[in-house]
Structure 1
């Protein structure tokens, strides 16, 4: 469900979203398209990304730009940012959303798996930020929003490399906020709880697991991808003008 709020300052704002073709990312893409922003998103999967582009143009008359790239390839990431700038202008909002949350057991993790996991879940957040900072400096400011997770906060034991990366994102957020704040570039993080995407429902919603999780939330409903849109729009907008170096937990009150 898209939030009803409209942020006038986001109209015509140039926004880049990583992992914007499915799951939470697709909702974020739609959320900014609905605001009238100029949106580019990077994803590795042609489908459903191409379908999302057509749907957004048909529904809102605002066609986002889909750029296919493997974010673990830093050169490809930098080229994608350059392509986005060429097509939508100076990027002043970056949403680092892309992630890979496959489960993995401590006894089975190899150095190669660890490095691959970090190359998707942590490293691109830094290099995407590095690539857009010159735009934000030229524009006189900007907003970087990094998606972390509550998984490491609740001691989730089934994906140690992922939780390490998500904890690292908060450190990265605070470090970048400290460095870039004097240049009017705000850096914040969003920590979703268990958001029930199609992927989550297909792979990890089994038995009473979701029921028991929701019972521990204060707001006892499934968290949907669209529930991440409002917080992200707020952090991107001038409504959050003096908000930086923060982590916004959106978990239905689980914590």
Structure 2
């Protein structure tokens, strides 16, 4: 069983509702988040993103600014809620009221059950779950004042698949489903939609460097219905749909984009 190594996602969809709208993306400096930033910028959105990595984030801003797009980066550790709230305030000052939020930032550090300490557990909940609530809390009034908005939380198929050595991460990612459903109910009266996208095994550079061996690649193609690699652009495409007005009747939902693994 082999993959179509020549496959690359092809794009043609344009979302008029994204043009000139302000979107905030967490973890936008690398991986899936980097591609989300690129795709929203190229749709004509005003993009603000937060990341802890400085140099790659600034290079991304330079690249997209040179293309004529509006992109603003703030450096902050998302586990520091006060710093994150301050960063969101600076993005608002630079770009205007925030109409869309993509809660993307996460970290899938492995650990066996005996390696997990209380401190490690708390840190994994902070980096994978906690900031999603507080970022939503920080922007929903902007959306309400605009007449509505969209929040897209990024979860993971891994909690469904039960990937070994990731129990704290899986607990946090499953919690994002509950967070999505709670926020959707609470923010629905403000015409704010809240959905969750659950990526599969995405071929980010980090995954390729650390985990994706030929044996792992073969296992992926065995499990997936689609016999090809899934790329960050595949996920960005789904997220843009849920952020846009094209999904205007969709809220309180969790959508799996894993090539048919689960």
Say which SS state the counterpart of residue 39 (structure 1) adopts. strand
Q: Give the C-alpha shift of residue 63 in structure 1.
A: 3.3
Alignment partner, residue 139 of structure 1: 146
User: Unpaired segments of 5 or more residues in structure 2?
Assistant: 1-8
1:6 pairs with 2:14: yes
Q: Is the 8 A contact 2:45 2:70 kept in 1?
A: no
- Check if 1:84 corresponds to 2:91: yes
Q: 1:30 — aligned with what? A: 38
**Aligned ranges 1:33-182 → 2 under 5 Å:** 33-58=41-66, 60-182=67-189
CA distance 1:75–1:2, change in 2 (3 Å): farther
RMSD: 0.9
Deviation per CA, 1:164-188: give whole Å up to 9, x if none. 0000000000000011111100000
Is this contact kept in 1: 2:97–2:143, CA < 8 A? yes
Structure 1 window deviating more from structure 2 (208-217 vs 109-118): it is 208-217
**Structure 2 CA distance, aligned partners of 1:3 and 1:202?**
27
Q: Does 1:203 align with 2:210?
A: yes
Contact 2:184–2:195 at 8 Å: present in 1 too?
A: yes
TM superposition shift of 1:215: 2.1
Distance 2:108 2:64 in 1: 26
Deviations 1:22-74 (Å, cap 9, x if unpaired)?
0000000001000000000000001211111111122x310310100000000
- Aligned twin of 1:236: 243
CA contact (8 A) 1:2 1:226 kept: no
Q: Is the contact made by 1:41 and 1:65 (CA closer than 8 Å) also made in structure 2?
A: yes
Deviations 1:177-205 (A, max 9, x none): 01111110000000000001000010111
TM-score, with structure 1 as normaliser: 0.98
Secondary structure of the equivalent of 2:251? coil
- TM-score normalized by the length of structure 2: 0.95
CA distance in 1, matches of 2:159, 2:82: 29
